[in-house]
């Protein structure tokens, strides 16, 4: 019984991924046909070629301009930008992870080890700040970044994403630090270590799994964020670029699928590599 439920759940999760993968190898004229084949009859790499800016009908095809020379009318969207945009996303995500981990580690450690006036309020407020929809915050953040002349730069996203991911990171890391025995710190204190030395030399090495898991989750959140990237930049990162493949009237499913498959490779790899740490970190505190 449990296996059939698990199998059903896995299929449910994998169905959209299979459909996306299958569509990415499907010719535009074959998308949406009935019955939907498990795999396209004559798979094509042209969707990937177009997305990567590789001409599909010889060198005369310039997607977006000489449409008649190309395979189909699908060059209505930005092509040849996916790799560059993924590098942008990676750059933004990496810096957001670094800043978030530095700030959240100090904050989470303080909240875990100290009881100070307002510490509970601070923790609750941190959790509450996750509830506020980004839509409400976008206008003041936009003005703030405009004044700093940071609009349409990676820093616009790095600053705003860091502020959103901090609460999540603080909550996860605080839970993680709560699990680490205080005996280690007391031993370090007896040996004359300062608080910062204790944090750097004793706690952080022990907390590496939690830090990795938090970093991965923060990276994923940064990688997939759409709205702020839409408003604060001109499609600097992957999600707005993918959204550009759709419009109210034009749906470039096959190109979107190919671009999506390429774009999910880094987060999928990252998650697979660090899967064990993520599960451990998220489960920390559940045995209390």
Partner 1 sequence: MESSENGLGLNSNLDRRTLLKGLGVAGLASAPMFNSGMMSAAEAASQTINFTAWEYQPDTIKSLVATWAKKTGNKVNTSFIPNVGYTAGIQARQRGGKPADVFYNFAYNSQKFVSQKWAADLRGLPGADKMVAEMFPSARSRFVAENGAIVSAPYFAAVHMLQYNKKMVAAAGFSSTPNSLQETYDQCKKIKANGVESPYVAYWVKDFVEEYLHVYLLAGNVTPFDKKGDPVFMDDPKTLDVLNWWQAMYKDGMTPKSVLTDDPGKHTTSIANGDAAFYALHHYFLRDIVESKGSASGDIAQAKIVGTGGKTLQMGEVIQLGGKVTGAKKAAAWDFMKTYGYKDASGQFTTFQKWAASGALCAPYPGFFTDPKVIAAFPKYMDLTLIADTFKSASDVVPARTLPWYQGFQAQCGTIIHDLLLGNSNARATANALAIACKTAKSGSGL
Binding-site ranges for partner 1 (CB under 8 A): 28-34, 62-65, 67-68, 72-73, 75-78, 138-139, 142-143, 146, 151-152, 226-227, 230-231, 234-235, 240, 243-244, 246-253
Q: Measured from the CB of residue 36, what is the shortest distance to partner 1 in angstroms?
A: 11
Neighbours of 210 (CB within 10 A): 27
Q: Measured from the CB of residue 247, what is the shortest distance to partner 1 in angstroms?
A: 4
Q: Measured from the CB of residue 240, what is the shortest distance to partner 1 in angstroms?
A: 5
Nearer to partner 1, 9 or 251 (CB): 251
Nearer to partner 1, 139 or 208 (CB): 139
Nearer to partner 1, 134 or 209 (CB): 134
Q: Measured from the CB of residue 8, what is the shortest distance to partner 1 in angstroms?
A: 23
Q: Measured from the CB of residue 148, what is the shortest distance to partner 1 in angstroms?
A: 12
Nearer to partner 1, 71 or 221 (CB): 71
* DSSP assignments along 196-236, one per residue: HHIIIIIIHHHTHHHHHHHHHHHHHHHHH--HHHHHHSSS-
Nearer to partner 1, 109 or 253 (CB): 253
Alpha-carbon distance of 288 to 125, in angstroms, equals: 23
Of residues 38, 170, 176, the one with CA closest to residue 106: 170
* DSSP assignments along 131-194, one per residue: TS-HHHHHHHHHHHHHHTT-TTSHHHHHHHHHHHHHHHHHHHHHHHHHHS-THHHHHHHHTT--
Q: Measured from the CB of residue 35, what is the shortest distance to partner 1 in angstroms?
A: 12
In whole angstroms, how far apart are CA 155 and each of 89, 93, 99, 132? 12, 11, 12, 22
Of residues 275, 200, 212, 255, the one with CA closest to residue 50: 255
Nearer to partner 1, 51 or 169 (CB): 51
In whole angstroms, how far apart are CA 152 and each of 139, 247, 251, 258? 15, 22, 27, 26
Q: Measured from the CB of residue 69, what is the shortest distance to partner 1 in angstroms?
A: 11
Q: Measured from the CB of residue 217, what is the shortest distance to partner 1 in angstroms?
A: 25
Nearer to partner 1, 89 or 235 (CB): 235
Nearer to partner 1, 30 or 113 (CB): 30
- Cα dihedral across residues 17, 49, 87, 162: positive or negative: negative
Of the chain, the end-to-end C-alpha distance in Å amounts to 30
**Measured in whole angstroms, how far is the alpha carbon of residue 262 from the centre of its chain?**
14
């Amino acid at each position: 019984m449990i296996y059939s439920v698990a199998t059903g759940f896995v299929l449910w999760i994998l169905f959209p991924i299979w459909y996306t993968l299958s569509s990415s190898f499907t010719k535009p004229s074959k998308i949406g046909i009935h019955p939907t084949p498990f795999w396209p009859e004559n798979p094509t790499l042209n969707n990937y070629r177009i997305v990567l800016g590789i001409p599909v009908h010889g060198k005369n095809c310039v997607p977006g301009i000489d449409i008649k020379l190309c395979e189909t009318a699908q060059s209505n969207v930005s092509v040849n930008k996916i790799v560059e945009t993924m590098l942008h996303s990676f750059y933004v995500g990496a810096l957001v992870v670094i800043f978030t981990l530095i700030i959240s580690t100090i904050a989470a450690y303080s909240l875990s080890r100290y009881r100070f006036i307002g510490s509970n309020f601070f923790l609750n407020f941190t959790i509450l700040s996750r509830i506020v929809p980004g839509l409400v915050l976008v206008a003041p953040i936009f003005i703030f970044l405009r004044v700093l002349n940071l609009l349409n730069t990676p820093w616009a996203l790095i600053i705003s994403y860091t502020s959103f991911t901090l609460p999540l990171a603080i909550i996860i890391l605080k839970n993680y630090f709560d699990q680490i025995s205080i005996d280690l710190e007391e031993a370090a204190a007896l040996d004359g270590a300062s608080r910062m030395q204790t944090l750097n030399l004793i706690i952080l090495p022990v907390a590496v799994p939690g830090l990795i898991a938090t970093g991965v989750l923060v990276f994923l959140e940064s990688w997939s964020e759409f709205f702020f990237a839409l408003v604060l930049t001109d499609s600097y990162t992957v999600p707005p670029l993918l959204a550009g493949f759709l419009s109210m009237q034009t749906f470039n499913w096959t190109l979107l699928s190919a671009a999506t498959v390429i774009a999910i490779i880094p987060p999928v790899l990252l998650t697979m590599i660090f899967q064990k740490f993520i599960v451990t970190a998220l489960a920390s505190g559940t045995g209390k």
